[in-house]
Amino acid sequence: MGNKINHLLVREIINSDVAVSADDGDLVFAEINKALTLDQAVELDFSGIQILITAFLNAAIGQLYSKYEGEQLNAMLKLTNVANEDKILFKKVVERAKEYFANKREFEDSANAAFHCE
């Protein structure tokens, strides 16, 4: 593992104190992914974020589980300055992402079946 730690300030990446859109989450994902690809640890700092929702977190954090194992993310990604009331959102997003990417085909088949009309 490289010894460089990338300090990423979410507020600066998205240029806002409101983390609500999946598009903004994709910007954060891209920055995290860039560092992890270079085997660099990431400190993701949520200081100054006033509003945070799961749509943002699914894009920023959840999709990391499509490329990396949970153990690798636990070792390489540190979240800081997360409001206590938002910690439950992270837990839900991570649990759902792990389930989804572990059983992606099954989830997609179920969704397709649910929306299939004869």
pLDDT one-digit tens code per residue, 2-15: 468 899 999 999 99
pLDDT of residue 4: 81
Could you give the C-alpha distances from 23 to 28, 39, 61, in angstroms and in order? 9, 25, 13
**b/e for 47-56, b at 16 or more Cβ within 10 A?**
eebeebebbb
Report the range of poorest mean pLDDT among 6-10, 14-18, 70-74, 98-102: 98-102
Q: What is the mean pLDDT of the chain?
A: 89
* Per-residue pLDDT reduced to its tens digit, 22-62: 999 999 999 999 999 999 999 999 999 999 999 999 999 99
pLDDT number for residue 1: 46
Bridge partners of 56, per DSSP, are: none
pLDDT band per the 50, 70, 90 thresholds, residue 112: low
Report how far apart, in Å, the C-alpha atoms of 8 and of each of 72, 77, 84 are: 18, 11, 20
Contact 26, 32 (CB under 8 A): no
| Percentage of the chain modeled with pLDDT above 70 | 85
- State what percent of residues in the chain have pLDDT above 90: 79
Predicted confidence (pLDDT) at residue 110 exceeds the cutoff of 80: no
Residue of 62, 69, 73 lying closest to 100 (CA atoms): 62
The pLDDT of residue 102 is 84
pLDDT over 60 (residue 99): yes
Up-side HSE of residue 59: CA atoms within 13 Å toward CB?
17
